[in-house]
Each structure stands twice: as structure tokens, then as C-alpha cells.
Structure 1
């Protein structure tokens, strides 16, 4: 197997491990890194089949977790955007004693709509996958235009589209993770500090999720007004402020 690669930025005493979302790569963290690298040691991850790890092949989320555990330090705070939130919940669930805390941005313990739980239908995610399979870059471009809430930012679009297309197998694994993983019970019982940072106008994670999560005493939950799924690109100062407060309280 080819060697898994990651980027390390900053020299802080606390480790942050950043996990991107479905069909994107670590470029989505551009502004978060600029605001946090002075305080932390950041491990910037491209998941297998993406970015600098494009040619690394995995078969399921268990393979991803094994690779991350082997290559990332213990006693770290894991931050996941979108699908990345499911992955950080998975690693915290499997190795709770090695995790200082987890932060979920525009994510949910369960993406799929269920009885008494807000989410989206499986059909929506199947359609997104089908569109990416047919025309990946067009699908991502259209998604960005919707989730940026009609803000024109050609630099960001160019930055986020300026990479090799992820392996279809990895995108399909991402679909399977979204459809099958459910960490509601884990979130309810775990003693690991958890923070959710959600966007009011997020069409992927319905805003009703915030009102349910905030009732869980184990969870810190923030709802950023007028923010969509791409809030890490536009509301990064507010996000970083919440991250700093959360980490300060668990040190």
C-alpha cells in the first residue's frame, strides 16, 4: 500500500486533526487554518482516495479509521466538517480514551431522516452520488453555488475545484457512511466533550437538528444564523471563536 500522507501546520501544544467532507478535500479548511495555526498543531488530512492520498484505496469506514489511528497522534481534538463529522464520531466511539474532544461542523450524528429525527431522505444522497459519478466537477460547482447562498467568490470556487477528481470508490464509500452511520446513542452516553456548530440555512443538516441536540446535556451546540453547509468558508471567524472557547473549557 502507498504511504498515507498528511500535512502538519503550527507548533501548538494541543493537536487538532481536521477531516474534510464528502467529495471535497482538505482545501475546505483554508480559512480555519489561517485563524487557528498560531494556537495549535494542526494535522490536515486528505482521506484515502482524495487529494494527496488519491491513490490510497480503502474498502470501508473501518479501513479509514485504522489508517487515521495509525497516522494521527493520541490525545487530540478531532474536527470534522459534514461527512467528516461522522468519521470523527466513529473514531471517538472506537477509541474513546485516546480522544480529548470532537467538534462537528455542519454535521449530524445521523444524516438520514428517521422517526422523530430530522434529516434528508436516502434518495437525495443517492442522487448527489449519481450526479457526481456522471459529472463530478459540475456537481460540485452547482453545490457550491447553492450553499454559498448566492455569494460570489470566484477565488473560493477556483480553490475548491482546483484538484484531482476523487476516486469514485471513495465517493461511494462516503455515500455508504452517510446512509448507514448513526451516532445518536453514542453522543447521548459518551463522556467525551462534543461540540456541534450548525448553520441556520443548511439544507444538508436541517436546522431542527440543532434544537434536538441542544437538549442533550452531553453536547455543546451552536447555531450560526444565516449560515449554510459551507459555513467554514464564510463564518470561519465565529466558528474559530467557538472552537477556542470549547477547547479552553476541556483543557
Structure 2
């Protein structure tokens, strides 16, 4: 099975990993500007966009598949679920992955006894059940949740919807796999092993991956810089495209 990857531009390699339920077209608003500085590799995660779902549908398998396609030297940018994949890639490929950009990323998506910056497990499990019962409505609500807290919520939601419907709807099995990864993954104990320069971009009003998670991550990562964006929800590259591009270009921490 092969992942769909589109490569454009010239310069150092930059691998872009989108979030749950989306596809690589979500980067369309910034891709041309990024391509002036980088050789972009725009990946569709398994079960999303033009990439078929994978078996087994584990984070380890997803990371293995992307690892098989990585350039010899690259920077990896991951958004939300893609950020968790990026963290594991950096750990698996410390020589090839030179730098990291983690956008709206949390090391642990659900609340635990020792982790307050997550979603209630029961809420995520209900979301998984609703996805089976009413696929379209559940995804529509998720898109709306992503822009919650954004000063430009209407405009960002319009961009999200336009990007989402530009390709066929994601594979339901792939969506459930992604949610299962979010339900079970806990990367907190691994962050101190990451030595690559890392930038974290996070919206201060993000209701999906709360800003407290980003602040905690910035304290754990050895070589990181946190950029907290005001009046911003879960999609900072849509709300702050200029600052996003500038941050990618100036990744040196």
C-alpha cells in the first residue's frame, strides 16, 4: 500500500502532515509561499484524502509507512493528529528528521488522572459512536469545533469546509482508526528524548487541544520555542498564515 504524497517547490525538504478527517489540501493557503523556501512533501495520512486505510491501523504502523517515504534529511510539520505522528517520526528517525514543527499538538489527547489538558474519554467515545450513526453531521460539528475561539471563525470555517469537500470524504474506517489513535496514544514520557529544534504553534483559544498542553510540551522538549497565538482556535495556519510561514522559515530555536 502506498501513501499519496505530492511534492512541490525547491529547497530543504519539509514534510507536511495534516490532522484527523482532513487531507493534504488543507495546506493550500500556505503551500505556494512555503514552496518558495522548501521542497514540500504533502502527505495524505492513511484513510484520508487519496491514501487508502492501513492495517493494522496503529500509530506505529502509520509512522512506519511515512518513515519509508521520508527524504534523507527533512523537517517535519504536523498538525494535531499529524503532530503526534511527527513526534514519533522524530524519535524513530533522529538522523533524517532534523527539525520539528508541532501545530495544535498534544502528547495525550484524552484526560487521565495525571493529565488535565485533554478531552474526556467518554466525550471522545461518544464522538466515535456518533460518527457511525451520522457521519456527515458529526464531521460538520467537528469542523465547527476547530474554529471555536477564533476571531475570524466564519472565514476560517469557510476555508475548512472548502478544503474538506475538495476531495472525496475520508474513509470511515480510516477515521475510526485515527480516533482510536487519539484515544490511546500517550507520548508524554517520550518528549524528553527529542533533541531536534522544535517550534510549537498553538491557538490560545483552542478547545480541541488546549493551550495548557502546548505549554507543558514546551517545558519537556529540550530545544523548543512556543508561539501562542491570540484569538486563535485549532487551525493557526488558517488564522495566521503569514506568521505560520515565517515560523517555518525561521525554525531555528
Hey, what does 1:137 align to over in structure 2? 136
CA positional deviation for 1:116? 4.7
Distance in 1 (CA, whole Å) between partners of 2:92 and 2:233 is: 30
For residues 43-192 of structure 1, the aligned pairs below 5 Å read: 43-53=41-51, 55-59=52-56, 60-114=58-112, 115-149=114-148, 150-152=153-155, 154=158, 156-192=160-196
Pair 1:137–1:158, CA change in 2 (3 A): farther
Contact residue 15 and residue 76 of structure 1 kept, 8 A? yes
Residue deviations 1:176-224 (CA, integer Å, cap 9, x gap): 2112222222222321222211111100111222332333461221111
SS in 2 for 1:103: strand
TM-score (structure 2 length as normaliser): 0.88
1:243 has 2:251 as partner:
no
Distance in 2 (CA, whole Å) between partners of 1:113 and 1:56 is: 27
For residues 20-59 of structure 1, the aligned pairs below 5 Å read: 20-53=18-51, 55-59=52-56
Pair 1:124–1:51, CA change in 2 (3 A): same
SS in 2 for 1:140: helix
Figure out how many residues of one structure are paired with residues of the other and give that number.
245
Contact residue 6 and residue 43 of structure 2 kept, 8 A? yes
Distance in 2 (CA, whole Å) between partners of 1:135 and 1:162 is: 21
Distance in 1 (CA, whole Å) between partners of 2:31 and 2:13 is: 13
SS in 1 for 2:205: coil
TM-score (structure 1 length as normaliser): 0.89
Gaps of 5+ in 2: none
Residue deviations 1:155-184 (CA, integer Å, cap 9, x gap): 542332232222222112211211222222
SS in 2 for 1:88: helix
Contact residue 111 and residue 205 of structure 1 kept, 8 A? yes
Distance in 1 (CA, whole Å) between partners of 2:81 and 2:4 is: 20
- Output the aligned Cα RMSD: 2.0
